[in-house]
Amino acid sequence: MGKRKRWKKYEVGKFRLGRHRRVAIVYWYDESGKKHQVKLGETVESAARTALDQFAAKAELIRPDDEKTCGVLFEAYLIEKIKDGKKSVNFLNSWKALAPRFKDALPQNITEDICRDYARERFELGRAPSTVWTELLQLRTLINWAVKTRRLKADHARYIWLPSKSKPRERVMTSAEIESFMLHAKTPHLKLFFILALTTGARSGAILEMKWSQIDFETGILDLRGEYTFDPMSKTRQKRRAIQKLTSLATAALLKAKENALSEYVIEYNGKGIKAIKKSFARTCKKAEIEGVSPHTIRHTTGTFLREGVPLEVVSEWLGHSNLEITKSVYAKTTPEFFNDAAKFIDGKLAN
């Protein structure tokens, strides 16, 4: 008799596919660590997977709603998001704050007043309105997902109240702050990052992922899109990135860095690309006595500079916004100067 072919690992949530005496079984562990198993009765791998899918779906749907706490729903939601290739770090951060109050709560018992009370507690701890807004929005998303996937009855989903968001950040670095930062940025990789961020207005991730192959020094073109492999099983999408013309300042800095490059990454440290710049950026800001500035502030600074002398459509393309409305909402701010022609027109009409 030939050697039995091993089945590939397959699981749906906590339910795992196995075999006992050539027959498919589903097994899982409860909260105490005790193992449970049920015979599925299939002997063919594809049929066994289908049987496991049906078993897991039935086990979840027949669970009484009075046992489906937000914590239980969160575990199922997280599993599905990971399968879709979604980044879970933001939701996990929000859940870390939400869990103490909502983990054991039933969705049908969450009222607007409970949400308001949660928000007050978070504000008293010094959390920003936008942070609390995001946390409660994640809770609303979780409940809506549970209803959409029929894990929760629609009439058991209560309205999740949200606080008002913070005012949009309008912090722009001054020329003196830019000069001070450059003076105090001692490490070459941080100084290069700052120059590229300021001249391109690109997001931090795009700059840190940038490779030398994306730069054409002969034409002076920088392709911020980089490499992106489409995966039909993943629901993640790369944020829109632009193709730009290099400025003289960026070209000079890049050519100098290219001479000593040890890796394929433009921003490197000890011959390797880096994943984050926040800590070294914050240390430099402290030395330069600059407050209220983050790497994203540079992007907003560049957009503001461009808005002073470049059409809004060009600003939108340069920053890689997905549509012009986003650019308008951030950079089409009205100023007294903006209304000069309107004021003159009214004066002319009244004079006549």
Burial of 321 from C-beta contacts in 10 A (0-12 / 13-18 / 19+) = buried
CATH number at residue 302: 1.10.443.10
pLDDT confidence of residue 1: 47
Same domain, 309 and 220: yes
Same domain for 273 and 228: yes
Task: Show the domain range for 33.
Answer: 11-62
On whether both 75 and 48 belong to a single domain, the answer is: no
Backbone φ and ψ for 126, nearest 5 degrees, come out as 90, 15
Answer yes or no: do 212 and 280 share one domain. yes
Are residues 135 and 56 part of one domain? no
Co-location of 328 and 187 in the same domain: yes
| CA-to-CA separations, 35 to 67, 177, 333, in angstroms, rounded | 21, 61, 61
CB atoms within 10 A of CB 107: 22
Per-residue pLDDT of the chain (352 residues; tens, 9 = 90+): 456 678 989 988 788 999 988 899 999 887 778 899 999 989 999 989 988 888 887 776 556 556 789 998 998 898 888 877 777 788 899 999 999 999 999 999 999 999 999 999 999 999 999 999 999 999 999 999 999 988 888 888 889 999 998 776 678 899 999 999 999 998 999 999 999 999 998 889 899 999 999 999 999 999 887 665 556 666 655 566 778 889 999 999 999 999 999 999 999 999 999 999 999 999 999 999 999 999 999 999 998 888 888 888 888 888 888 788 877 777 766 555 566 777 787 888 787 6
- Same-domain check for residues 146 and 213: no
Q: How far apart are CA 174 and CA 167, in angstroms?
A: 20
Rg of the chain on CA atoms, in Å: 27
Q: Do 139 and 248 fall into the same domain?
A: no
Residue 269, domain member (yes or no): yes
Q: Within this chain, do residues 195 and 316 fall inside the same structural domain, yes or no?
A: yes
Instruction: Report if residue 161 sits inside a domain.
Output: no
292 torsion bin: left (phi>0), alpha (psi -120 to 50), beta (else): left
Instruction: Please answer whether residues 202 and 302 qualify as being in contact, where contact means their C-beta atoms are separated by less than 8 angstroms.
Output: no
Query: Using alpha carbons only, what angle is made at residue 90 by residues 85 and 94, rounded to the nearest 5 degrees?
Result: 135
CATH number of residue 78's parent domain = 1.10.150
Residues 216 and 306 in one domain: yes
Establish if 1 belongs to a structural domain. no
Q: Would you say residue 168 lies in a domain? A: no
pTM: 0.65
